[in-house]
Amino acid sequence: MLLPQIALKIPPAKVLRYLGIKNSTDHWPELLRQIEAVIQAGKVLATPTAAITQVPFCLEQQGVVIGSMPDLVLGDAALRKISAVSVVAVTVGEAIEQEVTRLFNKGETTKGVIMDAVGTVAVEELSEQVIGLAARQMGVRGLYATAKLGPGYQDMPLEYLPAVLQLAEAWQINITCNEFCQMKPSKSLCFFIGWVPEPPKIREKCDLCQKADCLYRCWNGRREEFVL
């Protein structure tokens, strides 16, 4: 299922987090105004699109084996009671990263750094919005989303990325990767979501990490829903 023209959310607080700022911005009103201006520019530049589909799987002793990829095993313990598996690809397009390059070339370093953070937050928020939409649909079946699982996440090697992109039919939204498993556009994500009959204890990848003071830690464990 293709999801074009998604209404993108880019919270300023999360942009601040990706900029490495965790204290109050009360003393930096000009910085906050600049961030909000770049966010608005980023929303104009972004072309948020997504592809999501359910994939066949079977439960083996070592974990969940994706039917069309017998070498790919999802070993997360939350998946032992799995009822369905979805593969998701999302991107906000190339324009934001092109604008980052342009700003750096012009010597507007601060704006370039902020725009790069805006792009990172945009694609992360887009993935959560897509999961929220799918969660509304799967909730009718009494199913709940697990944490994201994908190449580079937890124990899944990054080398699986080309195969997962193919499984997601990511070419439909113009996502590719090179021989070094770098995605193009760079502000893109590809991952699996498991669907289980009860809310999983681990809902975010950060739940697996004990570094509570990490600037990039997810602030809450809830999925945000949205309406197309």
Q: Structure tokens of 6?
A: 């998604």
pLDDT at residue number 226: 28
134 vs 68: which has the higher pLDDT: 134
Three-state SS at 24: coil
Q: How many CA atoms lie within 13 A of 103 on its CB side?
A: 18
* Inter-axis angle of helices 109-139 and 29-45, nearest 10: 60
Q: Which tens digits make up the pLDDT trace of 107-119?
A: 999 999 999 999 9
Q: Structure tokens of 65?
A: 């084996």
pLDDT at residue number 63: 73
Residue 77 pLDDT grade (very low, low, confident, very high; cuts 50, 70, 90): low
The Cα-based distances of 110 to 31, 75, 103, 114 in angstroms read 10, 41, 9, 6
Helices (H), the chain: 12-18, 29-45, 95-105, 109-139, 161-167
pLDDT at residue number 222: 40
Q: What is the spatial distance between Cα 84 and Cα 33, in angstroms, rounded to a whole number?
A: 44
Q: 95, 144, 97: which is closest to 120 by C-alpha?
A: 97
Give yes or no for a contact between 75 and 63, defined as CB atoms under 8 angstroms apart: yes
Q: Are strands 73-74 and 63-66 parallel, antiparallel or unpaired?
A: antiparallel
pLDDT surpasses 60 at 25? no
pLDDT at residue number 213: 65
What residues form DSSP beta bridges with 202? none
Least confident span in 69-73, 107-111, 157-161: 69-73
Q: What is the spatial distance between Cα 204 and Cα 11, in angstroms, rounded to a whole number?
A: 18
83, containing H or E segment: none
Q: If you average pLDDT over residues 57-62, what whole number do you get?
A: 78
Least confident span in 63-72, 101-110, 125-134, 208-217: 208-217
Q: Structure tokens of 222?
A: 């809830």
Q: What is the spatial distance between Cα 158 and Cα 149, in angstroms, rounded to a whole number?
A: 11
Q: pTM of the entire structure?
A: 0.84
Residue 135 pLDDT grade (very low, low, confident, very high; cuts 50, 70, 90): very high
Q: Structure tokens of 188?
A: 């893109």
Omega of the bond prior to 151 within 30 degrees of 0, cis? no
> What is the chain's length?
228
Q: What is the spatial distance between Cα 101 and Cα 94, in angstroms, rounded to a whole number?
A: 11
